[in-house]
Amino acid sequence: MAQILFNLDPDGLAGLFGQFGFDVNFLTAFLDAIVSRREEEGWVSQSIALLDSLRKCGRFKIALTFVSAEKVRHVFEMVEMGTVTEEQRTRVGEVKQFWDLE
């Protein structure tokens, strides 16, 4: 499942979940998928795109309230450690603001 979630087109996530959005279980599954796929080529770029797209899904803030803050921090730390370009570092910082981590 992690491979499928990680490889979904980030631009289509909001449409996939529709106006009703997702719950904490889906959010947790996406976060776990990001961490578990870190050996894949293009992992940093795909992770940033997924994290940015997830925040645009319906009920994101509600799901974020119930997911472990430690898990969210861990995912962002992993992405930041893997970041190789200055543009990616900047992008992670921008996305992080929407996840209530700044």
33-70 residue pLDDT tens: 999 999 999 999 999 999 999 999 999 999 999 999 99
Residue 74 and residue 28: Cα distance in Å, rounded?
12
Q: Are 11 and 53 in contact (CB under 8 A)?
A: yes
Residue 102: what pLDDT? 56
- Across the range 68-75, mean pLDDT stands at 96
pTM for the full predicted model = 0.93
Summary mean pLDDT of the chain: 93
Q: Are 28 and 64 in contact (CB under 8 A)?
A: no
Residue 64 has a CB neighbour count (10 Å cut-off) of 17
Residue 75 and residue 35: Cα distance in Å, rounded?
6
Residue 46 and residue 34: Cα distance in Å, rounded?
9
Give the percent of the chain with pLDDT over 90. Answer: 86
Residue 56: what pLDDT? 93
Residue 33: what pLDDT? 98
Residue 65 and residue 3: Cα distance in Å, rounded?
25
Query: What single-letter amino acid sits at 76?
Result: F
